[in-house]
Amino acid sequence: MRIKPREKRKRTGSVQYKFIVSFFALIGALLLLMNTYPLMASRDLVFKEKESALMNQAAVISSSLSALDTLSANSVAQVMELLDVTSFSRIVVTDGSALVLYDTWGDSGIGKYALFSEISRALGGEQVFRSQFADGAFISRAAMPVRSRSVTLGSVYLCEYDSEQASLILSIQNILRVISIAACTVALILTVAFSRTLTARITHLAKAIQVVRGGNYAHRLDIGGNDELTELGNEFNNLTERLETTEQQRRRFVSDASHELKTPLASIRLLSDSIVQSGDMDMDTMREFVTDIGSEAERLQRTTEKLLDLSRRDDGIESKRSPVDIGAALKSTLRLLTPLADARNVTIEYTVGQDCMVLASEDDIHQIIFNLAENALKYNHDGGHVYLTVDGDETHVFLTVEDTGIGIPEEDRAQIFSRFYRVDKARSREAGGSGLGLSIVSDAVASLGGEITVSPRTPNGTRFAVSFPRFSEKEDAET
């Protein structure tokens, strides 16, 4: 089945995009804070300082003036001369009706009404302060009533224009701005570079997946680096390697199986064709041919039955298990093999221990014993022997099958449990084998939690040793 590739590129792109956007949202928020908070805080500090300076000064002037009974331009000017108030950009003193009596900006305003809201509020009895930061300067205004014995004689108004502190704050602001822009640029370059390499590696991985999905299981990924992505790349390679092996096994199995079925089918065709084509075949030859057809069909049946058995095991279908006495199973299985032993002129000897119980399906145990004993008979010499033993210890039951036969060359020993593997194809075929018996045995043993080993027997022959976990009624009842 082919799966259509989806829009992969768009997705990787959006990872990069998301990454950059969220990173910049964070950086932006940080820079905004860095550019506003210190300035606001220092501005507030200046406002406070201005308030206390102006209010203090206003209070000094107000209390000095309150010593006078009435306020007049002259008397105020005299008092003001005594006070040192040059640091303010403007000082205005009015009488109770907001008429200007004194103004540091010049005499032109004297005798006119002051229209500042601060003054009218001060005449109403309030102490007023207002400061603002605008056009690169702090402009602060304070106003206070001049009172004598709870009578409001007039008001004092101070105004200060400070560009010095303002320019200090402005220069801090500028420095912060430059730092922010520089930080932003560096962050931008780093983020883009980092996210590029990140997404490039992810894209690399995605491409490799595509290649493997396309059927090229030999493809391996080198993602570089030494991080989680490298780990992911390694896992991907492991997975691909397993896929490759499985795929190879599957292919070989299909081709072996077809080959195995093809051979007897071809013989059957050949034999039946000869019968059909020769018009005057005598009865004996005909019978011989039909017997051959029958044995080829039998071989086909055996092979397909074994293939079905193996595929059932591959699907993980397990037959029902019950405690099986291996000794008893051995005896009944050997009865089936007596004709073969007689035909080969091979003697079978066995010793069976008491109470060798294994939790298994009877069919599995039968398959194991039958295939091992059958091989021991088939790959034996005329007049040879087969020895079987069943015994056990506290935890295990052991089955050994030994023969005095042709033996298995060392280089083949590792492979004889593979499907369709045969050391001597001609001999196996002649004996009706398909090369599936031992793979069924090893699958069955593994499914029972046992182990099987093969070794040469001295002086000649082969020895198969199987161990099963022992079934003990007490223990298994407890669990």
Ligand X SMILES: Nc1ncnc2c1ncn2[C@@H]1O[C@H](COP(=O)(O)OP(=O)(O)O)[C@@H](O)[C@H]1O
Residues binding ligand X (CB under 6 A) = 371, 375-376, 379, 403, 405-408, 416, 421-424, 428, 433-438, 462
Alpha-carbon radius of gyration of the chain = 53
Q: Which amino acid is at 210?
A: Q
- 435, interface contact from ligand X, Mg ion, none, CB < 5-8 Å by kind: ligand X
- The 21-60 site mask, x for binding Mg ion (CB under 5 A), equals ----------------------------------------
Closest alpha carbon to 376 in 402, 408, 345: 402
Q: 101 with 123: CB under 8 angstroms?
A: no
> Which listed range, 21-29, 119-127, 146-154, 368-376, lies at the site for Mg ion (CB under 5 A)?
368-376
**In the complex with Mg ion, which residue's Cβ is closer, 358 or 441?**
441
Instruction: Specify the residue, 126 or 424, whose C-beta has the smaller distance to ligand X.
Output: 424
Picked from ligand X, Mg ion, none, the partner binding residue 240 (CB below 5 to 8 A depending on kind) is none
Residue 223's binding partner among Mg ion, ligand X, none (Cβ under 5 to 8 angstroms by kind) is none
For the bound state, the minimum distance from the C-beta of residue 442 to ligand X, rounded and expressed in Å, comes to 9
CB closer to Mg ion out of 79 and 431: 431
Task: Measure the CA–CA gap between 370 and 353, rounded to whole angstroms.
Answer: 19
Residues 6+ apart with CB under 8 A from 162: 50, 137, 138, 139, 140
Q: Which is nearer to Mg ion, 333 or 375 (CB)?
A: 375
375 binds Mg ion (CB under 5 A): yes
Only one of the segments 20-28, 89-97, 370-378, 448-456 lies at the binding site for Mg ion (rule: CB under 5 A); that segment is 370-378
Given the complex with ligand X, which of 133 and 379 has the nearer CB atom? 379
Q: How far is the CB of 415 from ligand X (least distance, A)?
A: 9
Instruction: Considering the complex, state which of residue 327 and residue 435 has its C-beta at the smaller distance from ligand X.
Output: 435
Residue 140's beta-bridge partner residues?
A: 131, 160
Q: How far apart are CA 257 and CA 259, in angstroms?
A: 5
User: Could you tell me the smallest distance in angstroms from the CB atom of residue 337 to ligand X?
Assistant: 13
CB 111 within 8 A of CB 181: no
**Which of the choices Mg ion, ligand X, none does residue 199 contact, using the CB cut-off of 5 to 8 A by kind?**
none
Dihedral angle at the C-alpha atoms of 366, 369, 375, 376, nearest 10 degrees?
A: -150
The closest alpha carbon to 399, from 363, 356, 348, 462, belongs to 356
Find the angle CA(315)-CA(316)-CA(319) to the nearest 5 degrees: 120
The phi and psi torsions of 249 (rounded to 5 degrees) equal -60, -40
Q: Using the minimum distance from each CB to Mg ion, give the nearer residue, 114 or 373.
A: 373
Nearest residue relative to ligand X (C-beta): 433
Partner that binds at residue 348, options Mg ion, ligand X, none, CB closer than 5 to 8 Å by kind:
none
Shortest Cβ 438–ligand X spacing (Å): 3
Question: What tokens appear for 49 in the block?
Answer: 């300082």
Check binding of 439 to Mg ion (CB under 5 A).
Answer: no
Is 435 one of the binding residues for Mg ion (CB under 5 A)?
no
Q: Maximum distance among all alpha carbons in the chain?
A: 163
434 binds, among ligand X, Mg ion, none (CB under 5 to 8 A by kind): ligand X
**What's the angle, vertex CA 377, arms to CA 376 and CA 380, rounded to 5?**
85
Q: Minimum distance between the CB of residue 15 and Mg ion, rounded to whole angstroms?
A: 57
Instruction: Give the separation between CA 91 and CA 77, rounded to whole angstroms.
Output: 11
DSSP labels, 108-128: GGTTSBP--HHHHHHHTT--E
* Closest CB to ligand X among residues 442, 467: 442
To Mg ion, the closest distance from the beta carbon of 267 in angstroms equals 20
Instruction: Specify the stretch interacting with Mg ion by CB under 5 A; choose among 71-79, 126-134, 245-253, 432-440.
Output: 432-440
Is residue 233 within the footprint of Mg ion (CB under 5 A)? no
The SS3 of residue 232 is: helix
Tokens of 176: 């912060």
Yes or no: say if 217 and 250 are a contact pair by the CB < 8 Å rule: no
Place of tokens 């200007």: 100
**Residue with smaller CB distance to ligand X, 11 or 262:** 262
Alpha-carbon gap, residue 275 to 283, rounded angstroms: 11
Q: Which of ligand X, Mg ion, none does residue 379 bind to, with CB < 5 to 8 Å depending on kind? A: ligand X
**Per rule CB under 5 A, is residue 437 in the interface with Mg ion?**
yes
Least distance (Å) from ligand X to the CB of residue 377?
9
Measure the CA–CA gap between 257 and 314, rounded to whole angstroms: 15
- Identity of the residue, 55 or 399, whose beta carbon is nearer to ligand X in the bound complex: 399
Distance (Å, whole) CA 142 – CA 131: 8
User: Footprint of Mg ion on this chain (CB under 5 A)?
Assistant: 375, 433, 437
